[in-house]
Amino acid sequence: MSLFQWNDNFSVGNSEIDAQHKKLFQLAARFHSAMTKGQGKQSLQQILTDLIEYTKYHFASEETAMQRSSYPEYPEHKAEHDALTRKVVQFRDDVAADRAVITIDVLKFLNDWLIHHIGQMDKKIGDYLRHQRPSAA
């Protein structure tokens, strides 16, 4: 199985969240592809920055949906978002300052995190939102 291929198993049953997750997978795939093509540090850093910016946008969007619907597990979910954001921003800054290098481990980390977070945490939001608005598509 190749990394960062979205498929229906990742669907959380909410079209807006799914569309954002697809975009995250695309950005991660672009990062993967740039790495395997041996693109330089600057270009990898740029893609990583794009990925971080989109992740922040996506997390904010999920957090708004959780808050609007009084989602009971909001604090745990927000804490996971914050932890991931901190970790990836720190990594990007370390790379920029030559304290770290981009290796395949970064891709593995992103892949494991996406699968775990979407598969467990985000599916619960999707289920909850569907029960809040049973008539919504």
Point out which residues bind Fe ion (CB under 5 A): 62, 122
Work out how close the CB of 6 gets to Fe ion at its nearest, in angstroms, rounded to a whole number.
15
Q: How many CA within 13 A on the CB side of residue 57?
A: 12
Nearer to Fe ion, 74 or 91 (CB): 74
Closest-CA residue to 63 (of 48, 44, 84, 77): 77
CB of 42 to Fe ion, least distance (A): 30
CB of 8 to Fe ion, least distance (A): 18
Smallest separation, CB 118 to Fe ion (Å): 7
Closer Cβ to Fe ion, 18 or 62, answer by number = 62
Q: What whole-number distance in Å separates Cα of residue 53 and Cα of residue 72?
A: 27
Dist CA 24 CA 96 (whole Å): 22
Reference 72, options 114, 121, 116, 17; nearest CA is 121
* Closer to Fe ion by Cβ: residue 116 or 133: 116
CB atoms within 10 A of CB 88: 20
